[in-house]
Amino acid sequence: MEILRYAVFRFFTMLATLLVVSALVFFIMNLPPGDYLSNLIAELRSTGQDSGVAKVEFLRQEYSLDQPLWKQYLIWIGFWPGPHGFSGIIHGDFGWSFEYDKPVSEIVGSALWLTVLVNLAAVLFVYVVALPLGVLAAVRSKTWVDYTSALIGYLGLATPNFLLALMLFYYGHKYFNLPIGGLMAPEFEGEPMSAAKVKSVLVHLIIPTFVIGTAGAAAMMQRLRANLLDELSKPYVETAKAKGVPPIRSVLKYPLRVAFNPFVADIGNLLPSLISGSVLVSVVLGLQTIGPALLTALKSQDQFLAGFILLFVAGLTLIGTMISDVLLALLDPRIRYGGRKR
Amino acid sequence: MDKAPLLQVRDLSIGFGKGTPIISNISFNVAAGETVALVGESGSGKTVTCKAILRILSANAKIHSGTVIFNPGDGELELISMPERKLRELRGDQISMIFQEPMHSLSPLHRIGAQVSEVLCLHRGHRKKSAKKLVLEKFERVGFPDPERVYRSYPFELSGGMRQRAMIAMAMIAKPDLLIADEPTTALDVTTQAQILSLIKDLQAETGMAVILVTHDLGVVANTADRVVVMRNGRIMEAGSVAEILDHPKHGYTKKLIDAAPAIPHEAEPSRARQIDDPILQLENVSKSFDLRGGMFSKRGEVVRAVQGVDITVERGKTFAVVGESGSGKSTCAKIALGAASPDPGGVIRFWPAKSAPPLEVQSLDPTAKRAFQRQAQMVFQDPYGSLSPRMQVIDILTEPLEIHEIGTRSERRDRAVELLEQVDLDPAMLRRFPHAFSGGQRQRLSIARALALEPKLLVCDEPTSALDLSVQMQVLELLEDIRETLGLSYLFISHDLAVVSRIANEVAVMRRGQIVEQAAPDILFSAPKHPYTKALIAACLEPSVEQKIDLDAVAIGAGDPETWPEEFAFQASEVPPLTETEPGHLVRIQI
């Protein structure tokens, strides 16, 4: 029950943090001079198309870009009435993308879920790969097992993701007939969910997951190895041995449990690095995630689109940290009962 | 001897890597039901020998030769060549082991009950449920007042003594024939040590198991062992019955060990009042409370009163010792005396830089004045391994304080470093070495040299000898005495070790629960203690003589909670008896 209370408490601190993050995102985005529309006006003027200027001026008012920054922010979030009354992110209106000339929600709509899907798959990949390899490398430290896994790990860390992506594309297609590009076969796009569509998505996921996950998995594996090595020399492991606990169990049951903490605590850190890492990969692989959209939006100062995507990524990160905090409390009694009366 | 011994170790040699063996040709026997003590200083190979018996040595240690024959009565088993799988069945079942560090020998993330019942699940085919009943019985036997609660607890929720009891329960749960106890009480307070040792003895009498007791403490040996094996540098120096070895040691090394063993005085000069004309440091009505921040699910913090109304006066050129067990508040006093922690409002710390100079009030100094004060009052820490940076050369360690206080030129600082090394009897040629090249005793000399760098007038020594071997302890104490005379220093000396204190101190205060319970000159205090807690500390202080056995009743009375002390001493809730001068120079917290 206590843990539930903690989870709820943690959820509200997360919301508060998200609010602070949204302000930071908004103000940092507005640090470079000008905005999408003022750039457009300048461009129109220099090319002599003065007739378009009036329309753009109208847009400026329509989206409150003529207001002071703090007011713009409050309108964007939805705490302050805009030209058409309250309508902001908390009211479900994510704003207008000037670049695509569509509402933001239409552009990111399906991409959001695909982003979550790709990154969840990558996180799973990181853990599934790092856990056994890290344990193996620690238990067999300074043997060929350790060295080989370290070598592969460093290769994974050192290879640029997009390069890896291109290579895997070529060989994956040549030898395993894996599909190239996209997150599903073209005929399923915009179609309702079906078994065939799910299968298509899964097949398309293989290469992106691998590409996005390798670096994270390599880093995670080294971290787990180091932590576990530390734990393996602790006296309680000796106690277990002296008790007659079989060797495999004496590693898995005691030291691994303790070494697991940083492993779990990393969920939160993993997400942002995966997502920012996956932007380029998405461009190269042609994935319909929010990555490519973010890149264009940032380049052209398309502020509502960029702001929403950044906020979304921040939200994912905060959810990740919240999950790892709650998991840590579940896993480690010292965190849970640290102040319990004796 | 008509029956074959329970355990025979024959010609055991062990080495790390390809180097020379660190254990050479060790042989000894353990008969059923007897206690054999392996005695020696650190690095003598006691622990390695024990681990070799169970074959739980670290991976880089190799058993070069030798046999270990275990005979629980139904045939001989050779442990060194036994297949790992078979040996595993013996571990924890017929031979079990207790380790030195109760704080780290239990998994921090598993409940105590689960860790203890695992032994029964492994060796007796019990399920968790059926094991629980046996475990609870054993918990009760080792002295837990509420076994159910301990069963559910995690190790970090128990004190050191309680954890060691849990370890003992775990080692005893399968009724082993042989218990190997590796320094089982070294990390514990003296009164707890006495209780744990007697517990092991009682259990041994009940079950008839044999015990191998590893220790460096001859007092422990005298009180528990039947036979003694003295080890040094991986070889056996001497072996025999306790009486033989302690009363008539033949080997020079054993004699040295016995001579180095600490003793507390039994005779006192007539009592005399304490008169202080020239104080250097005075703590007056010093208290310190900490807000205990609760864990993540506890709502409000608790206030812990670590030190309560302490008055201490250190005389110039003398040593004032504060004695107490862990949690008594003695280290907090030291920090407050140095200005490293501030006392609760109302407490005053006075420091006289010179005789009849106006005193500084340390608690209200501004940062600049405090720095000036700290030049004159320095600290020597307990752990010579942790308190010296492993990445700094000796010369940097010694000149850093001078640099911080911007004293002297580079070459002057260097000269000062050489001088400091000479003062603590270290070779000035060692200036360019790193701390890892030094032994524990040498490191502590370095710490002392560093503390002396700024020519302080007062040294606060926080357990400066506790981490050292006995023979080294003596040398460091001698050094401290010497420099006190030659440099005219005064010491505030914090320790839990009565023997050390009795040697170096001019005045001793005994602390318990943040209060001074008794204070007198050491000869008076130790030969005629008045307070039950002081009596318990003295009774628990084991001496290397077969006639002196632990007086467990005295320990039990005094080491209990202050509420349970005899009426005139007892604390009633927040009511504490006043510190009364019962005789000239002898203060006791007693209600008259």
- Model confidence over B284-340: pLDDT tens digits? 999 998 876 555 555 555 677 889 999 999 999 999 999 988 878 898 999 999 988
B345 and B200 within one domain: no
- Kindly state the percentage of chain B with pLDDT values over 90: 45
Q: Say what the pLDDT of residue A338 is.
A: 59
In the numeric block, the tokens 């180097």 are attached to B19
Q: Say what the pLDDT of residue B450 is.
A: 93
Residues of chain A contacting B94 with CB distance shorter than 8 Å: none
Polymer length of chain B: 592
- In chain B, the residue whose alpha carbon lies closest to the alpha carbon of A247 is B88
- Tell me, rounded to whole angstroms, the distance of Cα B583 from its chain centroid: 32
Is residue B196 a part of any domain in this protein? Answer: yes
Q: Which domains does chain A have, with CATH numbers?
A: 113-302 (1.10.3720.10)
- Model confidence over B511-560: pLDDT tens digits? 998 899 999 999 899 888 999 999 998 888 877 777 777 777 788 788 88
| Structure letter (DSSP) for residue B562 | G
A244·B91 Cβ contact <8 A: yes
- Average predicted confidence (pLDDT) for chain B: 88
Q: Say what the pLDDT of residue A69 is.
A: 84
pLDDT of B108 higher than 80: yes
Separation of alpha carbons A320 and B447, rounded Å: 47
- In chain B, the residue whose alpha carbon lies closest to the alpha carbon of A338 is B295
pLDDT of B68 higher than 50: yes
pLDDT of B188 higher than 90: no
Separation of alpha carbons A20 and B13, rounded Å: 66
Which of helix, strand or coil describes residue B263? coil
Residue type, B567: E
B204 and B333 within one domain: no
Residues of chain A contacting B293 with CB distance shorter than 8 Å: 339
- Model confidence over B412-421: pLDDT tens digits? 999 999 999 9
Q: Say what the pLDDT of residue B297 is.
A: 52
| Structure letter (DSSP) for residue B356 | T
Rounded to 10°, the helix A255-265/A303-331 angle is: 160
A238 contacts chain B (CB < 8 A):
yes
pLDDT of B482 higher than 90: yes
Q: Out of B93, B167, B295, whose CB is closest to A339?
A: B295
A101 contacts chain B (CB < 8 A):
no
Mean pLDDT of A306-310: 86
A residues 257-316 lying closer than 8 A (beta carbon) to B: 257-258
Query: In CATH, what number is assigned to the domain containing residue B472?
Result: 3.40.50.300
Q: Are B310 and B516 in contact (CB under 8 A)?
A: yes
pLDDT of A340 higher than 50: no
Is residue B245 a part of any domain in this protein? Answer: yes
B296·A236 Cβ contact <8 A: no
pLDDT band at A341 (very low <50, low <70, confident <90, very high): very low
Is residue B1 a part of any domain in this protein? Answer: no
Residues of chain A contacting B168 with CB distance shorter than 8 Å: none
Separation of alpha carbons B343 and B333, rounded Å: 9
B326 and B475 within one domain: yes
Q: Are B173 and B308 in contact (CB under 8 A)?
A: no
Mean pLDDT of B81-90: 90
Separation of alpha carbons B77 and B451, rounded Å: 56
Mean pLDDT of A246-273: 84
SS3 string, B294-344, reads CCCCCCCCEEEEEEEEEEEEEECCCEEEEECCCCCCHHHHHHHHCCCCCCC
pLDDT of B501 higher than 80: yes
B579 and B464 within one domain: yes
A337·B295 Cβ contact <8 A: yes
pLDDT of A140 higher than 90: no
Give CA torsion, residues B495, B496, B497, B498, to 10 deg.
Answer: 100
Q: Say what the pLDDT of residue A186 is.
A: 76
B residues 144-203 lying closer than 8 A (beta carbon) to A: 154, 156-158, 167, 170
Q: Say what the pLDDT of residue B159 is.
A: 83
B341 and B229 within one domain: no
The larger pLDDT score, comparing residue A225 to residue B264, is at A225
In the numeric block, the tokens 């408490």 are attached to A9
Q: Is B410 exposed, middle or buried (0-12, 13-18, 19+ CB in 10 A)?
A: exposed
CA distance B427 to chain A (A): 35
Is residue B123 a part of any domain in this protein? Answer: no
A333·B154 Cβ contact <8 A: yes
B581 and B501 within one domain: yes
Its sign, for the CA torsion A21, A25, A28, A30, is: negative
- Average predicted confidence (pLDDT) for chain A: 83
Sequence-separated (6 or more) residues with CB below 8 Å from residue B212? B7, B30, B35, B36, B37, B38, B50, B53, B178, B179, B180, B181
B335 and B217 within one domain: no
- Kindly state the percentage of chain A with pLDDT values over 90: 6
pLDDT of A1 higher than 70: no
B residues 121-150 lying closer than 8 A (beta carbon) to A: 122-123
The count of CB pairs under 8 A between chains A and B is 105
Q: Say what the pLDDT of residue A182 is.
A: 74
B335 and B294 within one domain: yes
B254 and B296 within one domain: no
B298 and B253 within one domain: no
CA distance B130 to chain A (A): 19
Separation of alpha carbons A284 and A292, rounded Å: 9
The last residue of a domain, from among B260, B289, B314: B260
Domain count, chain B: 2
User: Hey, how many other C-beta atoms are within 10 angstroms of the C-beta on B148?
Assistant: 13
Please give the C-alpha separations between residue A195 and each of A111, A112, A177, A192, A202, in angstroms, as whole numbers. 20, 21, 20, 10, 11
User: Hey, how many other C-beta atoms are within 10 angstroms of the C-beta on B423?
Assistant: 17
Is residue B318 a part of any domain in this protein? Answer: yes
Sequence-separated (6 or more) residues with CB below 8 Å from residue B573? none
CA distance B92 to chain A (A): 4
Is residue B267 a part of any domain in this protein? Answer: no
Mean pLDDT of A166-184: 81
Order across the sheet with B7-16: list the strands: B23-30, B7-16, B61-70, B77-78
pLDDT of B129 higher than 50: yes
Sequence-distant contacts of B17-24: CB under 8 A, at least 24 apart: B17/B60, B17/B62, B21/B64, B21/B234, B22/B48, B22/B234, B23/B48, B23/B49, B23/B52, B23/B234, B24/B234, B24/B235
pLDDT band at B9 (very low <50, low <70, confident <90, very high): very high
Conformation bin of residue B143: beta by default, left when phi > 0, alpha when psi is -120 to 50: left
Q: Report DSSP letters for A271-316, one per residue.
A: HHHHHHHHHHHHHHHT--SHHHHHHHHHHTT-HHHHHHHHHHHHHH
Is residue B403 a part of any domain in this protein? Answer: no
- Model confidence over B31-61: pLDDT tens digits? 999 999 999 888 788 989 999 999 988 878 8
pLDDT of B478 higher than 60: yes
Q: Say what the pLDDT of residue B301 is.
A: 58
Q: Say what the pLDDT of residue B327 is.
A: 79
Domain of B43 in residue numbering reads as 7-103+176-260
A331 contacts chain B (CB < 8 A):
yes
A334 contacts chain B (CB < 8 A):
yes
Separation of alpha carbons B538 and B555, rounded Å: 8
Sequence-distant contacts of B132-136: CB under 8 A, at least 24 apart: B134/B173, B135/B169, B135/B173
Q: Are A182 and A288 in contact (CB under 8 A)?
A: yes
Separation of alpha carbons B465 and B478, rounded Å: 11
B316 and B232 within one domain: no
- Model confidence over A68-121: pLDDT tens digits? 888 888 888 888 887 777 777 888 788 888 878 888 888 787 788 888 888 888
Token duo for residue B586: 């002898």
Is residue B411 a part of any domain in this protein? Answer: no
Q: Out of A235, A244, A336, whose CB is closest to B92?
A: A244
- Kindly state the percentage of chain A with pLDDT values over 70: 98
Mean pLDDT of B7-24: 87
ipTM of the complex: 0.75
- Tell me, rounded to whole angstroms, the distance of Cα B275 from its chain centroid: 33
Q: Is A256 exposed, middle or buried (0-12, 13-18, 19+ CB in 10 A)?
A: buried
A329·B296 Cβ contact <8 A: yes
The last residue of a domain, from among B232, B260, B288: B260
B301 and B210 within one domain: no
The last residue of a domain, from among B260, B295, B313: B260
pLDDT band at B137 (very low <50, low <70, confident <90, very high): very high
Best to test chain A binding among B82, B103, B109, B121 (most A CBs inside 10 Å) = B109
Q: Say what the pLDDT of residue B114 is.
A: 93
- In chain A, the residue whose alpha carbon lies closest to the alpha carbon of B92 is A243
Q: Report DSSP letters for B27-55, one per residue.
A: EEEE-TT-EEEEE--TTSSHHHHHHHHHT
B residues 260-299 lying closer than 8 A (beta carbon) to A: 292-298
**Regarding beta strands B348-351 and B360-361, do their DSSP bridges make them parallel or antiparallel, or are they unpaired?**
antiparallel
